[in-house]
Structures are given as C-alpha cells and as structure tokens.
Structure 1
Amino acid sequence: MGTTALRQFLKSLCSNSQWNYAVFWKLNHQNPLILTWEDGYFDHPKPSKIEGSVSDNIYFSGMKSISFSSCETITDDCGSGGYPIGLAVANMPSLQYAMGEGFVGEVAYTGTHSWVFSNSLFTRESYSELVPDVRI
C-alpha cells in the first residue's frame, strides 16, 4: 500500500502533537450533504513487548479494515491491540455524517474546527480556540 500525501499529512499532525489519531472526511459526490471517510491515521501506544512483525503505526484505509504500514491487513474484528480509541477509529470508515449533524457534520457545515475531548463527549462541549488553525 502506497503512502499518500494526505496520509503523510495526517501522520505529521499526530507526530508533531499529542494527538493519537487524525481523520479526513470528504463530501460524497452522489450526495453532497453527506460526509464520508477519506483517510485516517492512528498512532497506537507502544506495547511493552512487541509481538511479531506488527508495525508501530496503523493506517486506516477502506471499509472496516486497518492496514499496517508494512502492508499487513486485518479486519476490525481483530481490533487494534485492545486500544479503545483505535477500535473507534477503525469503525469510522463505515460511518457517514449528514451536513450539520454531529461533531463531524457541524464542523463541515460551519467551516470551523472543533477540538473534542473524551471527557466532553457526553456534554457535547467542543473547543474551537485552543490551538491555532491548521490549514491544508
């Protein structure tokens, strides 16, 4: 599997910050009011003991699959090493969001970024002024 410029950009966002993952959503060509998964990157925590030839970084590509940088592929049934964030990100390619609905749809509709933290998911709090804008 080749590394795309978008995936490299998402990886750099994680490498140069404390982020565990970065995801890019796009408008669906058939229905421009629906957002679909384009690509994502998840940098899972390093296990204390490395098992086999599993790479350090996981790339997400396609519906319900996780592709390792070494081109190995596993289904999301296998998970991502027991990391809850990784499991959530592994499920994201199968999701779609309506423009203006949910965090993803709201960000696309308003054109402003939103920082969502695990402790704010149930209160629907988001923060748009925590860090400077990142422009692609």
Structure 2
Amino acid sequence: MPTLFKKTLRSSVNVFNSKGMEPFRNHNSVIFIGDAQHAMSPFTGNGTNMATMDGYQLAEQMILAKHLSTAVQTYDDLCIPRSIKAIKMSHRTNAIGHSQGIWKYMWVAMLKIAAYCFGFNSKSEE
C-alpha cells in the first residue's frame, strides 16, 4: 500500500462526498427525485433503492391525483420522511465503517456473531 500511495498522482484522485443532503420539497416546474432531491453517501448502498422508490411513488401519485401540484405535494409527503430515515441510517453505517479502537472490535465481533447466527460462512463449503 505505501508504494501504491507514493505512485498515485494527487491530481488523479477523486473525492466522494460521504454526507447526505437534507431532502427538500419540490416547487415550480421542475420535479426532483433521487439524489437530486436527497443525496446520500455512495458508500452505504441506498441511493439506487431510494431513486427507484421515488420514481414509483411519483408515477403512482401522478396517476392517482387530479392535478400535478397535488401529485407532487403527496409525493413529497411520502418521500421526505422516508429520505430522512434513510440518510440517518447511512450516517450510522458510515460511523460504524469508520469506527476505531474498542468500537471497531465491538462492531466486528457483532458482525461475526450475526453471520454465525444467520448461517453465513466466509469459507466456501464444498
């Protein structure tokens, strides 16, 4: 790893934002969904799921509502609480992933116990 770090050009390194963006209500003529409305860390595995749910819920509301403004308002009412919950979960996941010291060993032990209880085995069974 030290050699890899030394040989890597600083200008070639990309930095990813691992923080979430608070969701906001839509207004005017543009409807935002997915990361455009509520970005979250790309390291927690929730972005695609949230965007899919957003698209489904917005389409459903557009079918059910008599007016576009009503559909968007109802969509926001469904999306924003769900997004806040997912962003908080992503913050917890990031905190666990960046744990150090005793907390790191505690999380690793808990994951190993959970893997054992659910029958996951790191060794391939032949």
Report if TM-score (shorter chain) is over 0.5. Answer: no
TM range (shorter): under 0.3
Larger strand fraction of residues: 1
TM-score, with normalisation over the residues of structure 2? 0.27
Q: Which fold has the larger relative contact order, with Cα–Cα distance below 8 Å and residues 6 or more apart in sequence? A: 2
